[in-house]
């Protein structure tokens, strides 16, 4: 963190202030930032959110909150909240306030015109991981059952798509099999590409608490020396994008040293022989020059993992955001299957998800199929949902449409003409944002539905729809351990802002499919999705709002209020033969790599204070005081060589774009690598390339080649 105090008075003025505001009442919610799913109560006084506190004895956070949670009520009251619908004829004229009726009529008319003129798929809908499950379900019903475009996806393609794809390939269905309690039972933790301390601070607190009770080895695999890496027993500073090779080599050693669980493999898996054939080629000596990790260290880690009675892996974006994202996830699953570490306490392969409701969208949004983990390709699934919704089965596409990352090139190519963005800000968060700006400018019609009217993507829009935020509406989120939690409405939304659910229902009306969403309450939506979830992997049928509130959340599958801490405990998976699949994975190096002209690896990610594109945290004084501006982490060897020092302004340049940013000299990145937080607009995503994973279509945000020059105004 950089401090730039000019004087003592300046230091005083910038001091972080925590006000203790008295509240009249407290509303129970789940935090609206990350997927940890902390219980958080919003203090309300005179109808305003004035405070928050962690929910005492909550099963996830036991009253603890991180920096973002502590000031979350300030996001509700922040400036720039959208209070009225806005409209303009074209994106170069100023917006004017209009009525909801005018904004929705115009939107529905444009949607109909575009679909009528160019075909249904000329309209795209891109949503998020940050609205309630009930809202996702309603949007899916409207898009799949009313609009009929197959260009429907969410920002989860930027985030969790590789985990989803990997789980489906290995286990036949999405769904993280483990839970946070696994820290209390495990004998070995491998953490791949996760900055847990900054990105899921309360999961880290759970891990630390488990370690204080009982030591077990923690191995962190990350090119950077994060605080997590500093606190690990072993840090593997892996070469960017080579985790697959490391994982194959770990499996190689487990097999070589006879540490595999033959009984588990025999009873519950298939595909083993082909897998063995492939990993046989990946000796630690072969992996060493590719991964940068000494063969002896790989052997050591494989032995620790293989000999543990229960061993677990967690991972986040260092794995998912790679051209081998899906393969990386499958390789983590392979290692778990090889040692029988699935479905048992302390033995799991647990994807740490990202956004507060990245899980809810996977379960019920219909983005990647139909609700309840149903598939468009499956005739029975189409028939079930068509019947339940009262729509013609033939209205559904029979195969999955484009993902968010393929929709934008289609906009650029003129195939997609209209776009509805809901709670996502691609103008800043997509890779190669110069190209995204061009795509957004190419649209005939863009509608942005967001809680903040100054969101970057609204610069390109014709219509802005102001939405109610977390705690201004009731609904559920699912966290990383499949725990469904309830957010109670604490306060009224500002001005004329409406909940996303109300907006979807009003849109359905305007599109003359109002029968799909006749009574837009979260309770009604919850009952519908519960009904269709019965017997599905994400079974919600035993849940109720009262039970969720009472318990602080319940883990699906939940055919009763009991819920399930783990999946696959009986060794049965969601595949046709109920066995898990070993999948043989070859490594193909296709990244843009540093060369003479662009000699540095660019790595991007997060800091604890900020949330994504800063629409929320950028408006919160204390968080900005901690982390006011973007910076580039640079190793001292590189800084010396380039004649640069901390606080110098430099230009970081890739083949796609550049940014000017100040230097932070650190030993946390290796020579030849730099790290820039991606939160700031017109920042690191000007430079990223974002090659896509072939299975998940998730962008490789963490690997690009750049050069660095001193900034000069002359």
Ligand X SMILES: Nc1nc2c(c(=O)[nH]1)N[C@H]1C(S)=C(S)[C@@H](COP(=O)(O)OP(=O)(O)OC[C@H]3O[C@@H](n4cnc5c(=O)[nH]c(N)nc54)[C@H](O)[C@@H]3O)O[C@H]1N2
Residues at the site binding ligand X, with contacts judged by CB under 6 A: 34, 128, 130-131, 155, 158-159, 192-195, 198-200, 221-224, 226, 238, 240-241, 243, 316-318, 321-322, 354-355, 422-426, 429, 449-452, 455, 467, 469-470, 500, 603-606, 608, 610-613, 615-616, 678, 684-685, 688, 701-702
Binding string, residues 150-169; x marks residues near Mo ion by CB under 5 A: ---------x----------
In the complex with ligand X, which residue's Cβ is closer, 464 or 582? Answer: 464
The whole-angstrom separation of Cα 563 and Cα 482 is 10
Contact between 431 and Mo ion by CB under 5 A: the answer reads: no
Scanning the structure block, which residue is given the tokens 């379900």? 137
The whole-angstrom separation of Cα 476 and Cα 131 is 9
Helix (H) or strand (E) holding 125: strand 123-127
Letter string b/e over residues 259-274, b meaning 16 or more CB atoms within 10 A of that residue's CB: bbbeebbeebbebbee
The whole-angstrom separation of Cα 586 and Cα 621 is 48
The nearest distance, CB 359 to Mo ion, in angstroms, is 12
- Find all residues with CB under 8 Å of 380, minimum gap 6, and list them: none
The whole-angstrom separation of Cα 568 and Cα 53 is 35
In the complex with ligand X, which residue's Cβ is closer, 293 or 386? Answer: 293
In the complex with ligand X, which residue's Cβ is closer, 227 or 276? Answer: 227
Q: Which ranges of 172-242 would DSSP assign to H, the alpha helix? A: 196-199, 201-213, 227-230
The whole-angstrom separation of Cα 490 and Cα 474 is 8
At residue 151, φ and ψ (nearest 5 deg) are -95, 75
In the complex with ligand SF4, which residue's Cβ is closer, 40 or 218? Answer: 40
Cβ contact 349:313 at 8 Å: yes
The nearest distance, CB 355 to ligand X, in angstroms, is 4
In the complex with Mo ion, which residue's Cβ is closer, 474 or 617? Answer: 617
Q: Which residue is nearest to ligand SF4 (CB)?
A: 69
The whole-angstrom separation of Cα 149 and Cα 455 is 25
Among 343, 354, 475, 537, binds Mo ion (CB under 5 A): 354
When CB distances are held under 5 to 8 angstroms depending on the partner's kind, the choice from Mo ion, ligand X, ligand SF4, none that residue 332 binds is: none
When CB distances are held under 5 to 8 angstroms depending on the partner's kind, the choice from ligand X, Mo ion, ligand SF4, none that residue 128 binds is: ligand X
When CB distances are held under 5 to 8 angstroms depending on the partner's kind, the choice from ligand SF4, ligand X, Mo ion, none that residue 423 binds is: ligand X
When CB distances are held under 5 to 8 angstroms depending on the partner's kind, the choice from ligand X, Mo ion, ligand SF4, none that residue 418 binds is: none
Closest CA to 160 of 354, 8, 369, 443: 354
Q: Which ranges of 413-485 would DSSP assign to H, the alpha helix? A: 426-429, 433-442
In the complex with ligand X, which residue's Cβ is closer, 243 or 638? Answer: 243
In the complex with Mo ion, which residue's Cβ is closer, 146 or 354? Answer: 354
The nearest distance, CB 534 to ligand X, in angstroms, is 28
The nearest distance, CB 34 to ligand X, in angstroms, is 4
Cβ contact 591:691 at 8 Å: yes
In the complex with ligand SF4, which residue's Cβ is closer, 177 or 201? Answer: 201
Residue numbers at the binding site for ligand SF4 (CB under 6 A): 31, 33-34, 36-38, 61, 65-66, 68-69, 200-202
The nearest distance, CB 168 to Mo ion, in angstroms, is 19
Letter string b/e over residues 182-214, b meaning 16 or more CB atoms within 10 A of that residue's CB: bbbbbbbbbbbbbbbbbbbbbbbbbbeebbeee
Cβ contact 425:450 at 8 Å: yes
Task: Provide Rg for the chain, Cα atoms.
Answer: 25
> 186: helix, coil or strand?
coil
In the complex with ligand X, which residue's Cβ is closer, 504 or 573? Answer: 504
When CB distances are held under 5 to 8 angstroms depending on the partner's kind, the choice from Mo ion, ligand X, ligand SF4, none that residue 38 binds is: ligand SF4
In the complex with ligand SF4, which residue's Cβ is closer, 357 or 664? Answer: 357
> 156: helix, coil or strand?
helix
Binding string, residues 105-144; x marks residues near Mo ion by CB under 5 A: ----------------------------------------
Residues in the chain: 714
When CB distances are held under 5 to 8 angstroms depending on the partner's kind, the choice from Mo ion, ligand X, ligand SF4, none that residue 69 binds is: ligand SF4
Interacting residue ranges for Mo ion, rule: CB under 5 A = 159, 354
């Amino acid at each position: 963190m950089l401090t730039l105090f000019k004087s003592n008075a300046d230091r005083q003025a910038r001091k972080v202030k925590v006000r203790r505001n008295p509240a009249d009442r407290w509303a129970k919610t789940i935090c609206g930032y990350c997927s940890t799913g902390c219980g958080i109560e919003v203090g309300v006084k005179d109808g305003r959110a004035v405070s928050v506190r962690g929910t005492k004895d909550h099963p996830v956070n036991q009253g603890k909150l991180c920096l973002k949670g502590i000031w979350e009520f300030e996001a509700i009251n922040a400036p720039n909240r959208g209070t009225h619908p806005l409209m303009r004829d074209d994106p170069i004229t100023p917006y004017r306030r209009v009525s909801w009726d005018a904004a929705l009529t115009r939107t529905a008319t444009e949607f109909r015109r575009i679909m009528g003129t160019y075909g249904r798929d000329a309209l795209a809908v891109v949503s998020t991981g940050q609205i309630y499950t009930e809202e996702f379900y309603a949007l899916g019903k409207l898009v799949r059952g009313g609009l009929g475009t197959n260009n429907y996806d969410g920002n989860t393609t930027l985030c969790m798509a590789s985990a989803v794809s990997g789980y489906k390939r290995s286990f036949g269905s999405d769904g993280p099999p483990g839970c946070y309690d696994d820290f209390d039972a495990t004998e070995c933790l491998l953490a791949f590409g996760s900055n847990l301390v900054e990105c899921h601070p309360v999961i880290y607190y759970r891990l630390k608490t488990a370690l204080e009770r009982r030591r077990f080895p923690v191995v962190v695999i990350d090119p950077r020396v994060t605080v997590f890496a500093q606190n690990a027993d072993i840090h593997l500073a892996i070469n960017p994008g080579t985790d697959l090779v490391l994982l194959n080599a770990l499996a190689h050693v487990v097999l070589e040293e006879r540490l595999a669980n033959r009984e588990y493999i025999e009873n519950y898996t298939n595909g083993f022989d082909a897998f063995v054939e492939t990993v046989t080629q990946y000796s630690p000596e072969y992996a060493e020059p590719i991964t940068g990790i000494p063969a002896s260290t790989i052997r050591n880690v494989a032995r620790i993992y293989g000999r543990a009675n229960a061993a677990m892996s967690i991972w986040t974006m260092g794995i998912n955001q790679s051209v081998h994202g899906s393969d990386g996830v499958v390789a983590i699953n392979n290692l778990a299957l090889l040692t029988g570490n699935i479905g048992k306490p302390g033995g799991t392969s647990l994807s740490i998800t990202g956004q507060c409701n990245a899980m809810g969208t996977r379960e019920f949004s219909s983005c990647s199929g139909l609700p309840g983990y149903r598939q468009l390709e499956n005739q029975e699934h189409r028939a079930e949902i068509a019947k339940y919704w009262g729509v013609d089965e033939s209205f559904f596409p029979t195969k999955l449409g484009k993902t968010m990352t393929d929709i934008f090139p289609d906009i650029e190519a003129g195939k997609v003409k209209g776009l509805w963005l809901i709670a996502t800000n691609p103008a800043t968060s997509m890779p190669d944002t110069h190209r995204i700006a061009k795509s957004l400018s190419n649209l005939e019609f863009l509608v942005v539905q967001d809680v903040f009217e100054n969101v970057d993507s609204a610069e390109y829009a014709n219509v802005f729809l102001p939405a109610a935020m977390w705690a201004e509406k009731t609904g559920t989120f699912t966290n990383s351990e499949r725990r469904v939690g309830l957010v109670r409405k604490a306060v009224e939304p500002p001005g004329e802002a409406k909940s996303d659910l109300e907006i979807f229902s009003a849109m359905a009306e305007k599109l003359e499919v109002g029968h799909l969403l006749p009574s837009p309450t979260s309770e009604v939506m919850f009952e519908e999705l519960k009904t269709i979830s019965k017997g599905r992997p994400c079974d919600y049928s035993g849940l109720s709002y009262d039970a969720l509130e009472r318990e602080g959340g319940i883990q699906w599958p939940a055919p009763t209020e009991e819920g399930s801490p783990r999946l696959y405990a009986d060794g049965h998976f969601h595949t046709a033969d109920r066995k898990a699949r070993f999948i043989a994975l070859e490594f193909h190096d296709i990244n843009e790599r540093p060369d003479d002209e662009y000699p540095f690896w660019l790595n991007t990610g997060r800091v604890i204070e900020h949330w994504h594109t800063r629409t929320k945290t950028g408006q919160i004084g204390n968080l900005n005081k901690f982390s006011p501006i973007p910076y580039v982490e640079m190793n001292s060897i590189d800084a010396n060589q380039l004649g640069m020092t901390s606080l110098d302004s430099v230009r970081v340049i890739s083949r796609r774009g550049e940014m000017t940013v100040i230097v932070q000299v650190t030993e946390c990145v290796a020579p030849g690598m730099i790290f820039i937080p991606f939160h700031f607009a017109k920042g690191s995503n000007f430079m990223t390339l974002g090659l896509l994973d072939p299975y998940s279509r998730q962008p490789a945000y963490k690997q690009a080649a750049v050069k660095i020059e001193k900034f000069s105004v002359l």
